[in-house]
Structure 1
Amino acid sequence: MKQYRSLTAEEISRLEAQHCMASDWSMVKVTDGFRPDHIHHIRFSGEIRLGCFDKEFRLAGGITKHSGLYYATLYNVVVGDNCYIENVKNYIANYEIGDSTFIENVDIILVDGRSRFGNGVEVSVLNETGGREVYIHDRLSAHQAYIMALYRHRPKLIERMKRIVEDYAERHASATGTIGSHVTIVNSGYIKNVRIGDYCQIEGAGRLKNGSVNSNQYAPVHIGYGVICDDFIISSGSHVEDGTMLARCFVGQACHLGHTYSASDSLFFSNCQEENGEACAIFAGPFTVTHHKSTLLIAGMFSFMNAGSGSNQSNHMYKLGPIHQGALERGAKTTSDSYILWPARIGAFSLVMGRHVAHPDTSNLPFSYLIEDKNTTYLVPGVNLRSVGTIRDAQKWPKRDQRKDPCKLDQINYNLLSPYTIQKMMVGRNILKELARVSGETSEIYSYQSAKIKNSSLNNGIKFYETAIHKFLGNSIIKRLEIKSFGSDEEIRRRLLPDTSVGEGEWVDVSGLIAPKSEIERLMEDIESGTLTTVDEIHARFAEMHANYYIYEWTWAYGKILEFYHLDPDTVTAKDVVAIVRRWQEAVVGLDKLVYEDAKKEFSLTSMTGFGADGSREEQVRDFEEVRGVFESNPFVTAVLEHIKVKTELGNELIDRLKNLL
């Protein structure tokens, strides 16, 4: 802890000669090594603590400025070592400023009364009229928010969670704000009741009021020109720039909001990118992306989602107001000019095209297309499993995780196939088979919920789902039996037995975290009973679920293998395992070939339209190849071919290890 001393008479005289004033010089304390050389035109009042001013700042363009205080009014301020503060139009009041911080050309920075700096702010997410409020705080994860917003049928749970956040907010409340070390605040306007973390850069912000900017050395935050934020929290590594306006919002780690984006009562979790458009009362889980001016996201829950230009939803039908909500489950996409009338629920990794006003619920038919034709929703089940775009998305999300903070708030599972999606495919497969049975296998059109399914789409959907199920279950059993050699069927059976019973039953996607529902239930019960009493304890439990995912996954997969392939756990043999691996090889190679053919469409003559300006067909092809490359050497295409080879060899390797038991 720094030691401070009173100013000497000589130092006071020197400061006064440099046009400094103090209501009471005895209230101004300084560290040893303090020199008044670089303090000019400063008004001091209240308790003041000053560090040393020895270093220079080298700015863009090569100019240097010596640390010091110039043309500012300070009231109840602690200034760390080697700071630079100049041209504060009004004053800085009730702040502790860290070391090596640069503040220049600002209107006012103050804390007025006791503030919680955005912690405990109510965000009326999903329902604009209230009822699903999430109480934001510095340590909020997508998973905590998911439970707080959606489990309103457990009032004791919600009350406990609210109390936990209130306790956190009160512990971090203060009448003094903090501006961390190595912070830059320049050319900015009104900053009131804002806590600012280390290495933050604020350039040209218009207004920041009642919030926390949780920047740190590993993941600095940048706030740019024209930004207005009221009642907010911005997490580490995020960029909020270019006229963005936020009111009652939480911004998660490594998000990017810019190009005049506006949002109110919304939550944005890890790696969201929001530009140009507008959001109101949305729950944007990890990797929710929208880039277009004409896009409005409202009263919806999303994750791993990409909104096409002109995507829009309605959350009221001019009756009782904006009370309706909807969800696009993980990986869903909307095309340009798509529209959904809430309430609706769209299955995971589905594509929405056109206008849908009949409130579809396709949650048990993932990887589907929803296409509108003459105001009717047509459903094409499972077709997205063969889409090159789906595979590309699954590969790009882990690479686009920009979180540098060693403490990650969201536990993100990137798996395309998981117990969560496979359980839905199993249900979806049964739904499609039952539709065929009830309506007749020769029917041209089947009705499901408010959607229509063509005969060919239904039959293909069953095949797609079965292929994906074979692929997932085969992957699981190969992983379980890898490396080890087996001398008998009994050894195989022992190895197949799960390590825990956790994982049986239904699985859920808690906004990025895929986990057994039983574990989520146990967490909620522990919150209700008072076993978990802090936000960090809740965070640790989510992290534990994420770390144990593959252990829990095998428990679920083992049960489904027995059920799907009609096997008895006491009589499973190497022959049964080999049969599963053979089906897995067929599924993997079959899906990869479909993806390969889908990718090939991107290199067709139709795709070359617009290339080769003013030239012949030959020039068109050459121009296309210069820009897009040749199909056979495309990195994704070569990766698909390599995947076929590797997976085939992987299956053969296990079969070879079991040959002595066949």
Structure 2
Amino acid sequence: MGYIIKVPLNRIGYDFIPADYLPEGKDEYYLRFEQNKSNKNYRNLTEEEIRILELNNNESTDWNDVLVTDKFIPQQIKRSKFFGLVRIGDMEEVYLEYRDIRLPVGIYNSQIISCDLGDCVALHQVRYIAHFIVGNEVILLNVNEMETSSNAKFGNGILKEGDPEKSRIFLELCNENGGRSVLPFDGMQAADVYLWTRNRQDKELQKRFFDITNQKFNDIRGYYSEIGDRTVIKNSHTFKNVKIGSDAYIKGVSKLKNVTINSTSEAYTQIGEGCELVNGIIGYGCRVFYGVKAVRFILSSYSQLKYGARLINSFLGDNSTISCCEVLNSLIFPAHEQHHNNSFLCAALIKGQSNMAAGATVGSNHNSRGADGEIIAGRGFWPGLCVSLKHNSRFASYTLIVKGDFLHELDIKFPFSLVSNDVTHDRLVIVPGYWFMYNMYALMRNTNKFISRDKRSFKNQYFEYDILAPDTVNEIFTGIKEIKSAVSKSLNISDPLQWLNNNEKTTEEIFLDNAEFSKRKVLLLKPKESFHLFKKLVRYYAVCQIMEHVDPNGFNDNIKSLIDKGLKREEFENVGSQLIPVSKLDDLLNNLKSEQIDSWDEMHSNYRQLSSDYVQDKLQHSLASLQEITETDPQNWNAEFWNELFDEALQTKKWICDEIYNSRSKDYHNPFRLMVYESEAEMNEVVGKLEDNSFINLQSSEFENFQSRIKDFKS
């Protein structure tokens, strides 16, 4: 346990850096002065100023160590104590107002130990603040304890001189056994975390990740905690080893310990009542409110933790929300939604645009012989109400899971699928392409929704929100292969295409292998419909890319130049919501291993370059996909080929628009939905008129534009 020691009173506020760690020729303030590079001319207090201070019930062990500027107003300092070197910036006879708070500039009823205070600060009832650099126009009201250790790390996974290795902070992600641990650092992105948690067998690569993280920092002791300009902190308890940006608003927190809080006037962060945040990093523009508990975590920019959420040993990507529930040992890519009190997520890699329903229990069954395994889910993962999943499981993009207990490991290879339990016949049922067939409105709205929610001011990475992209299209090809294999085996036929291309309704049941680790059957529903749907979507994807990125003037020459580069459908990897061709990703990691890339800043610069290349990579991928799905030689892509393709794409776009309307209109024509309203007029007042739906109306205008563009290409 800790113990209390006695030190002479005149040493309080001094010896912040232990003598053993103080460089030769340096005093204990050298790092403080580097952190707070001020061009102000500080001076000692005059005898008259000391007299006024003491008359106002202020005291200091040594007034010679209280330094001020020529704009010092001693009358605005009352009932306060000063220890060690304290520097006070300019003062004015004004008060600071923030919302409904109005406080005079100055220091009142506070105890200041070896701090730098900026211009026009208002410190009221700060019972203990030690070794802090406080910015300009900062309000601190009714704060209990603010302290700094000489070996403060501010949430970064580093060591300071003399620290034991066991004190290093790791984030134990994706797995409860710590086998995918990473070192957190300020500025860490989902892509960084993802790459580090993968390829654990590559010891050389893992060492490079470790090394470039350590290189970002030094092991020197003596950095002060910081509070940025115009930050407001009120009615809070404990702050220890914190770095807080400008314009933050912090109220009623229980504890902030070993954290960095990024904040600017354009992207200010707010932290509210009852929160306890320990060993973490918070990005720009975040909101953390109402009893949140977070330990060993990174919260990326423009994300929210609310209403008692628990985030432990986890990374949450940009533009995400977690409230009420518990998330452990998980790596979550951007645009994640989880806001129900009884959902639980553990030991998972969730690749973005995801939504966890109430009662969903993803992971941690505690029925294995060791630590639980992992769950990996592609973009758009949606486990429905009261879904319970077993480790290890893997899900393709946009998998929707129906309420139920899934007692066996799952490997769902079909994108846009519905997965359910047929309890009556004790079998798993999969409907590939379900979203397109039955809920087009929700599916297509996702793209617009996530784009509008992406509040990043500096978009250093291209986050892919489109439902048809290289990752989902590649999964479509996998799904087509799985359908053909299942048909061939279930019907014992060598040519499944003959059956799949037959439009006659059939009663045969098609079963899948290797979708569930159990002896029960897995039924594949609507294999014919999903097979033809998938092929149509690939063709539509190609046309959309061509229309967006190819100039219709000189169309043939433009397409030929793309074909001449060679068409080969390449695998893409979802790296923190940025899709990267696997070949380029391999080059990136090899360059890191060979030290051609030698810092995280250089890695981030490469992400930006890969983002710039992505549009062309995606276009090339779409043409390769078109070649493969049509089984044609690109050299034979003549006018007739393209005209048929454009006509089909127009029909597909019309079908999508119609299905968006139809899937939403069901809610207006369902008598059981109508029965809670006195009349149709009341329903329209409550939920809005169908014809006023902004998303549906947007689709109509998009279709007109699509139709016009098709004409340009066909001409």
Question: Given the two structures, how large is their TM-score scaled by the length of structure 1?
Answer: 0.92
Letter aligned with residue 663 of structure 2: D
User: Does structure 1 retain, via aligned residues, the 8 Å contact 2:510–2:523?
Assistant: yes
CA-CA distance at 1:476 after TM superposition:
2.1
Deviation readout 1:634-662 (Å, 9 max, x if unpaired): 33333333333332332222112xxxxxx
Deviation readout 1:190-247 (Å, 9 max, x if unpaired): 1101111111111010011111111112111111010001111111100111010011
Distance 2:567 2:296 in 1: 38
Aligned to 1:660: none
Aligned match for 2:150, one of 107, 113, 126? 113
Aligned match for 2:487, one of 415, 436, 447? 436
> In structure 1, the residue corresponding to 2:177 is in which secondary structure?
coil
The answer to whether structure 1 residue 135 and structure 2 residue 174 are counterparts is no
Q: 1:492 to 1:284 in 2, by over 3 A?
A: closer
Aligned match for 2:214, one of 153, 166, 170? 166
Distance 2:327 2:572 in 1: 29
Letter aligned with residue 457 of structure 1: K
Letter aligned with residue 286 of structure 1: P
The answer to whether structure 1 residue 604 and structure 2 residue 669 are counterparts is yes
User: Does structure 2 retain, via aligned residues, the 8 Å contact 1:608–1:620?
Assistant: no
Distance 2:427 2:70 in 1: 78
Distance 2:558 2:279 in 1: 58
Alignment gaps of 5+ in structure 1: 613-618, 657-662
The answer to whether structure 1 residue 554 and structure 2 residue 592 are counterparts is no
Distance 2:699 2:515 in 1: 37
> In structure 2, the residue corresponding to 1:448 is in which secondary structure?
coil
Aligned to 1:382: 433
How do 1:300-311 and structure 2 match up within 5 A? 300-302=348-350, 303-311=352-360
> In structure 2, the residue corresponding to 1:423 is in which secondary structure?
helix
How do 1:18-29 and structure 2 match up within 5 A? 18-29=56-67
User: Does structure 2 retain, via aligned residues, the 8 Å contact 1:83–1:102?
Assistant: yes
Aligned match for 1:327, one of 360, 373, 376? 376
Distance 1:577 1:258 in 2: 51
> In structure 1, the residue corresponding to 2:154 is in which secondary structure?
coil
Q: 1:629 to 1:345 in 2, by over 3 A?
A: same
How do 1:107-256 and structure 2 match up within 5 A? 107-120=144-157, 121-170=169-218, 174-256=222-304
CA-CA distance at 1:623 after TM superposition:
2.3
User: Does structure 2 retain, via aligned residues, the 8 Å contact 1:411–1:546?
Assistant: yes
CA-CA distance at 1:529 after TM superposition:
1.2
Q: 1:171 to 1:552 in 2, by over 3 A?
A: farther
* Farther off after superposition, 166-175 or 547-556: 166-175
> In structure 1, the residue corresponding to 2:628 is in which secondary structure?
helix
> In structure 1, the residue corresponding to 2:223 is in which secondary structure?
coil
Aligned to 2:73: 35
Equivalent residues, number: 641
User: Does structure 2 retain, via aligned residues, the 8 Å contact 1:281–1:298?
Assistant: yes
Q: 1:480 to 1:258 in 2, by over 3 A?
A: closer
How do 1:269-288 and structure 2 match up within 5 A? 269-288=317-336
Aligned to 1:87: 125
> In structure 2, the residue corresponding to 1:231 is in which secondary structure?
strand
Aligned to 1:360: 410
Deviation readout 1:233-286 (Å, 9 max, x if unpaired): 111100111010011111110111111111211111101111111111111211
Aligned to 1:337: 386
Distance 1:174 1:269 in 2: 32
CA-CA distance at 1:59 after TM superposition:
4.2
Aligned to 2:682: 623
Letter aligned with residue 686 of structure 2: V
Aligned to 1:537: 602
Distance 1:503 1:182 in 2: 55
User: Does structure 1 retain, via aligned residues, the 8 Å contact 2:106–2:121?
Assistant: yes
Aligned to 1:100: 137
Aligned to 2:537: 468
Letter aligned with residue 478 of structure 1: M
Aligned match for 1:57, one of 78, 83, 96? 96
Aligned match for 2:641, one of 539, 563, 576? 576
> In structure 1, the residue corresponding to 2:115 is in which secondary structure?
strand
Letter aligned with residue 18 of structure 1: N
Distance 2:261 2:184 in 1: 13
Deviation readout 1:416-469 (Å, 9 max, x if unpaired): 111111111012112102211222256313123235565652112112211211
User: Does structure 1 retain, via aligned residues, the 8 Å contact 2:305–2:321?
Assistant: yes
Aligned to 2:310: 262
User: Does structure 2 retain, via aligned residues, the 8 Å contact 1:324–1:342?
Assistant: yes
Deviation readout 1:122-155 (Å, 9 max, x if unpaired): 1111212211112111110010011111221222
User: Does structure 2 retain, via aligned residues, the 8 Å contact 1:100–1:181?
Assistant: yes
Q: 1:160 to 1:503 in 2, by over 3 A?
A: farther
Letter aligned with residue 113 of structure 1: S
Distance 2:145 2:463 in 1: 39
> In structure 1, the residue corresponding to 2:216 is in which secondary structure?
helix
User: Does structure 1 retain, via aligned residues, the 8 Å contact 2:346–2:362?
Assistant: yes
Deviation readout 1:329-353 (Å, 9 max, x if unpaired): 1111121111111111111011111
The answer to whether structure 1 residue 399 and structure 2 residue 449 are counterparts is no
> In structure 1, the residue corresponding to 2:140 is in which secondary structure?
strand
> In structure 1, the residue corresponding to 2:131 is in which secondary structure?
strand
> In structure 1, the residue corresponding to 2:110 is in which secondary structure?
strand
Percent of matched pairs sharing the same residue: 23
Distance 1:173 1:198 in 2: 24
Distance 1:398 1:479 in 2: 17
The answer to whether structure 1 residue 567 and structure 2 residue 643 are counterparts is no
User: Does structure 2 retain, via aligned residues, the 8 Å contact 1:481–1:495?
Assistant: no
Distance 2:551 2:615 in 1: 14
Deviation readout 1:88-122 (Å, 9 max, x if unpaired): 22x11111111000001011101022211101131
CA-CA distance at 1:162 after TM superposition:
1.4
Distance 2:464 2:70 in 1: 52
What root-mean-square deviation, in Å, do the aligned CA atoms of Structure 1 and Structure 2 show? 2.2
Distance 1:450 1:413 in 2: 27
Q: 1:467 to 1:565 in 2, by over 3 A?
A: closer
Deviation readout 1:274-305 (Å, 9 max, x if unpaired): 11111111112111111111111111122111
* Farther off after superposition, 18-27 or 473-482: 473-482
User: Does structure 2 retain, via aligned residues, the 8 Å contact 1:142–1:410?
Assistant: no
The answer to whether structure 1 residue 351 and structure 2 residue 400 are counterparts is yes
Aligned to 1:14: 52
User: Does structure 2 retain, via aligned residues, the 8 Å contact 1:492–1:573?
Assistant: no
Question: Given the two structures, how large is their TM-score scaled by the length of structure 2?
Answer: 0.86
> In structure 1, the residue corresponding to 2:79 is in which secondary structure?
strand
Q: 1:8 to 1:20 in 2, by over 3 A?
A: same
The answer to whether structure 1 residue 494 and structure 2 residue 543 are counterparts is no
User: Does structure 1 retain, via aligned residues, the 8 Å contact 2:360–2:384?
Assistant: yes
Aligned to 1:653: 712
CA-CA distance at 1:313 after TM superposition:
2.1
> In structure 1, the residue corresponding to 2:149 is in which secondary structure?
coil
Deviation readout 1:540-571 (Å, 9 max, x if unpaired): 11122122211111222222233333333444
User: Does structure 2 retain, via aligned residues, the 8 Å contact 1:419–1:556?
Assistant: yes
User: Does structure 2 retain, via aligned residues, the 8 Å contact 1:209–1:231?
Assistant: yes
> In structure 2, the residue corresponding to 1:215 is in which secondary structure?
coil
Distance 2:509 2:197 in 1: 41
Letter aligned with residue 405 of structure 2: R
